[in-house]
Amino acid sequence: MPEWYDVLPPRDVSLSSRWTTAEFRDELRAWCERHVGPVTAMEQHKLRGWATVWRVTTGSGSWFAKQNCPSQLFEQPLMALLARLAPDRVVPVQAEGDGFLLTPDQGPVFHDTAGDDLASWERLARDAALLQRELVPHLDELAAAGVTTLSPREGPEYVAARVEQYAQLPEGDPRRLAPDVAERLRDHLPVVRRWAERVAGLGLPLTLNHNDLHGNNVFDVDGRLLFFDFGDALVTEPLGILLIPLNILAERLRADGDDDRLWRVADAALEVWTDLRPAAELRAALPAALQLGRLGRVESWVRCQPSLSEDELDEWGPVAAAWLGTLVEQPPVGSVQQ
């Protein structure tokens, strides 16, 4: 039977040019007014090939309205689901539908309010893991909302498929995987299989992986961390969610894989799962889980690329292949056999 990753998604219509038009602005205004009343001001807060976000002001407050590219439109029903299942851990949803998501302004993001101290990173990692733990019983609902599942055991075949798909693109296509990198990754597949076996062997449940976890995607509201921006989300094993925060922190601290500061942050998340597996086993498997976490970043860009304009594709087209290439690098903490 064919797998969902057996082909690259076909090119789609770029929406970013429409997102700058008066027609779209009027459509968005009308939709917002149905849910929060007369709009007094609108400002485009973000414009990318994969999403646009507008700050909308009414007499009762400020809101953020978002529309994603077609392959990430699942974020709207997903956010509504998360607001119902874990209201103390995600940004509340005022309205969703017709391709739009409306959430109330929560103030400055966590990165701006908490700073870069290690305690803040530990808190971010722990609370993200706690959200994952709450969602374990709800895999069917996550799937119904449109979230793709990429289990550890699927990882090697996923890599093999994506390598061939990107390697076979014609010369001049900015998405193309360079022949030497493709060959290196083909040789690396036995290593990926060992990672997958190691992580699957933990027996941890699948759950939601934010897949872009950092301080700019969470608010601190009355002492509660509220997560948002789930457009990159997948259902995976839980530990790979730490890839992005540990990568960012390692770069800022100029830390290597043995740095105790990175392990402090990782341990804050791992502790959430220690009733299922001993901490030592989780630590030992974390480097392999972080390597598999790179596949989530590949898939995020696979989904976004069909909706990019030609200019956007020139800029962002190489990123999926670049993330594939990082599989031969070491994880941000610990090390793995290459």
Residues near 228 by Cβ (< 8 Å), separated by ≥ 6?
Answer: 79, 90, 91, 103, 217, 218, 219
pLDDT one-digit tens code per residue, 198-232 = 999 999 999 999 999 999 999 999 999 999 999 99
What is the pLDDT, as a whole number, of residue 205?
98
pLDDT one-digit tens code per residue, 2-61 = 899 999 999 888 899 999 999 999 999 999 999 999 999 999 999 999 999 999 999 999
pLDDT one-digit tens code per residue, 319-328 = 999 999 999 9
Residues of the chain with CATH 3.90.1200.10: 107-338
Say how far apart CA 240 and CA 331 lie, in whole Å: 11
- According to CATH, the topology of domain 15-105 is Phosphorylase Kinase; domain 1 (3.30.200)
Q: Give the chain's mean pLDDT.
A: 97
CA angle 147, 100, 124 (to 5 degrees): 55
**What CATH number has the domain spanning 107-338?**
3.90.1200.10
Residue with tokens 């390692």: 250
Residues of the chain with CATH 3.30.200.20: 15-105
Cα pseudo-dihedral 222, 224, 228, 232, rounded to 10 = 160
Mean pLDDT of all residues in 55-69? 97
Indicate if the pLDDT at residue 112 is higher than 90: yes
Confidence label for 127 from pLDDT (cuts 50, 70 and 90): very high
What is the pLDDT, as a whole number, of residue 210?
98
Indicate if the pLDDT at residue 101 is higher than 80: yes
Confidence label for 236 from pLDDT (cuts 50, 70 and 90): very high
Indicate if the pLDDT at residue 337 is higher than 90: no
pLDDT one-digit tens code per residue, 281-336 = 999 999 999 999 999 999 999 999 999 999 999 999 999 999 999 999 999 999 99
The maximal CA–CA distance of the chain, rounded, in angstroms, is 60
Kindly give the residue spans of alpha helices, DSSP state H, lying in the chain: 22-36, 75-85, 110-114, 118-135, 139-144, 155-167, 179-202, 243-253, 260-270, 279-304, 310-316, 319-325
What is the pLDDT, as a whole number, of residue 115?
75
Confidence label for 118 from pLDDT (cuts 50, 70 and 90): very high
Mean pLDDT of all residues in 172-192? 98
